[in-house]
Structure 1
Amino acid sequence: MAAERAYKSTPHTRKGATTTFGSRTDIGCLRDHNEDSLIVTPPLFAVADGMGGHAAGEVASEIAVNVLAELAPAHPDPEALGRAVEEANRAIIRAAHEGRGREGMGTTMTAAMLEGERLIIAQVGDSRAYLLHQGKLQQLTRDHSLMADMIEAGQLTPEEARTHPNRSVITRALGSDPNTQPDLYEINVETGDRLLICSDGLSGMVSDADIESTLARVRDPQRCASQLVNEAIANGGHDNVTVIVADVSGFAEVRRKKMARKTKFTIALVLVLFAAIVGATAWGTNTYLHNAAYLAEDNGKVAVYRGVPGDVFGLSYSEHVETTDVSVDDLQPGFAERLKDGWRVDSVEAAQELVEEYRQDIAARTQPGNGADNNGNNNANAAPNASNSSTTDNQPTQGGAA
């Protein structure tokens, strides 16, 4: 990851894997140089507001973002992000001792990592992180400033703090104490939420109510960031102003990709199943047409055909196999009638077996002495019964004369 340094009226906008964001930094109306630095490399976003004068504040903020960009974790991890901020603090102190910048230079640092619906923040100083949730603005971080301490103690109101002469005094910053530690925040956000990270050049010039209105009204994050900077400048632009606006798309993109993959898989599966059904139907039809057979008349004889009679979808699936020696006229009337439209059977072998049955039937009906003539009529030619009984003479046998 590389840090990005943005100067006056230089917009930055990109679309990360799950985050759409925009950013802008501006010198403001009163300063002659910009001491703010920022990082916009999803999932890492950060704003550093340098202090210490020319050639010092900007050095401190730039060191801070460079070290942070190098050491920040790849995914949200509050402890690891906190350690990166602590190392940025030590790097600024070393640089001052080595003559880079000036002794006493420092910077605020508000670093956030946004991934999915998880947000972590490491913060030192008074650069703020806000969250617009369901149209309502929430300040996520607590300022390390004299004004924040006085407001919490009940010594000032937020409105009074906005114009207080010590409003720029901060109580914690990077570069002043080697033991400085950031405040760490871990927040669950939702799809549709909007994250704002800004230097006090925005929060000190534009009220929270107006910030809320702009965040809710301007939907494009880059236009929104630019609009917020414009409002700070319109209100006086007393300081450098830096703004990052990041929309929480959470798992929406993941769900969209998952749904797209599921849809593609479903379509592919339907196509495969359709192709399988068509293929199976075609195979089954082809197998049936090549195995089926039927009997029909061919010039007065019973003929065997492979296929089916007539047309199928306008095509003929019929192949002549043989014309038998069986005459249609010799068939019984019911058999002959069925041949007119084609007598379908399961196979050529079944057709040939049926023809053989015809032959046997005809032979049985035409065999002499079988009780039927050539026309199938019964004959009454039964032979008369012969009488083999003998006549008994009941008269007595006559003898000779006594």
Structure 2
Amino acid sequence: MAEVSAHSHTVDLTRDRLELAWAAVTHTGRRREVNQDAVLAEFPLFVVADGMGGHIGGEIASASAVERLHAVADTGSVSTKAIEKALARAVKDIAARPEATDEATGTTVTGLFLDVSGAEASWVALNIGDSRVYLLRAGAIVQVTTDHSVVQELIASGRLSPEEAENHPYGNVITRALGPSESVTPDYVRLDVVDGDRFVICSDGLTKELTDFGIQHFLAEHPEPDAAVEAMLDAALENGGRDNISIVVVNVSRVPGP
């Protein structure tokens, strides 16, 4: 079984304090020989990258994206501008590797960071591809990001229902990815920082095996991030584990300041 990493961090805000706890895991799954996913879970940035491409192209693409974003996280100050610069550098890294320059090579880049640059702290979700960020707030789960996929475009145009999409033959075809040819700007969604919120960042290896309701169920059953991550991974593997599986769970608590 892949090792689950668990961490915590405290942030002093203007009027109160933010206590974060998170856990992360990445697993090859039951049917793939290699894991082309890469994960970054280091405050204030949490990212899942799902690589694709023949040979080792997908591994190179996802690792390059996470390595460049890790350098941004290490500064302790993350912004959309810094993320886009890091992704542009990752594109150059990928293009410099001959084994990763075919048209099929690329990676999703999906995640979340805490922005404390404004008067009020806020979360910013970012997305390229079909990995996802979910938010569990007040007992209801919502998908924060929108998939960049053929199936999602068919749903948006009314030509496909969400139920039909689950088994659509183009279910794995994405319309945007970070690859060796050009940098892609992520979509961003800004969110308030709310006490009790829980985030799930995951590759489609999880959502192929668990519905949104299933993700919500395991969050409800397991208040601690590491237990929730382990339970979701176990369930995804039991349901087939058809792809690489990466999961990050972040718990948010706002408490009175000192």
- TM-score normalised to the size of structure 2? 0.88
**Equivalent position of 2:53 in the other structure:** 52
**Equivalent position of 1:175 in the other structure:** 179
**Equivalent position of 1:217 in the other structure:** 221
Q: Indicate how the Cα distance of structure 1 residues 188 and 86 shifts in structure 2: closer, same or farther if over 3 A, else same.
A: farther
Q: Indicate how the Cα distance of structure 1 residues 31 and 62 shifts in structure 2: closer, same or farther if over 3 A, else same.
A: same
> Which of 2, 5, 9 lines up with 1:9 in the alignment?
2
Identity rate, percent: 36
Q: Give per-residue Cα distances to partners, 1:169-203, cap 9 Å, x unaligned.
A: 00000015414211122211301100110000011
Q: Give per-residue Cα distances to partners, 1:306-336, cap 9 Å, x unaligned.
A: xxxxxxxxxxxxxxxxxxxxxxxxxxxxxxx
* SS state at 1:216 partner: helix
Displacement of 1:100 in angstroms is: 4.7
Q: Indicate how the Cα distance of structure 1 residues 24 and 213 shifts in structure 2: closer, same or farther if over 3 A, else same.
A: same
Q: Give per-residue Cα distances to partners, 1:321-359, cap 9 Å, x unaligned.
A: xxxxxxxxxxxxxxxxxxxxxxxxxxxxxxxxxxxxxxx
**Equivalent position of 2:102 in the other structure:** 103
User: C-alpha distance in 2, partners of 1:180/1:222?
Assistant: 32
Q: Indicate how the Cα distance of structure 1 residues 152 and 122 shifts in structure 2: closer, same or farther if over 3 A, else same.
A: same
Runs of 4+ in 1 over 4 A off after TM superposition: none
Q: Which amino acid in the other structure matches residue 113 of structure 1?
A: F
User: C-alpha distance in 1, partners of 2:169/2:212?
Assistant: 20
Note if contact 2:68-2:86 (Cα within 8 Å) is conserved in structure 1: yes
User: C-alpha distance in 2, partners of 1:102/1:90?
Assistant: 11
Asked which structure has the greater CA Rg, the reply is: 1
User: C-alpha distance in 1, partners of 2:35/2:158?
Assistant: 34
Q: Which amino acid in the other structure matches residue 66 of structure 1?
A: E
Q: Which runs of 5+ in 2 are unaligned?
A: 11-18
Q: Which runs of 5+ in 1 are unaligned?
A: 1-7, 259-402
More helix by share: 1
**Equivalent position of 1:378 in the other structure:** none
Superposed CA RMSD: 1.8
Displacement of 1:74 in angstroms is: 2.4
- Counting matched residue pairs gives 244
More strand by share: 2
- TM-score normalised to the size of structure 1? 0.58
Q: Which amino acid in the other structure matches residue 54 of structure 1?
A: H
Alignment of 1:2-401 (within 5 A): 9-17=2-10, 18-72=19-73, 74-92=76-94, 94-96=95-97, 99-104=98-103, 105-114=105-114, 118-250=122-254, 252=255, 255-256=256-257, 258=258
Displacement of 1:101 in angstroms is: 3.4
User: C-alpha distance in 1, partners of 2:81/2:184?
Assistant: 14
**Equivalent position of 2:13 in the other structure:** none
User: C-alpha distance in 2, partners of 1:120/1:70?
Assistant: 18
Please say which of residues 218-227 and 52-61 is displaced more in the overlay. 52-61
Q: Give per-residue Cα distances to partners, 1:41-99, cap 9 Å, x unaligned.
A: 1111110000003312111110110011113562342333333234323432x233xx2
Note if contact 2:28-2:244 (Cα within 8 Å) is conserved in structure 1: yes
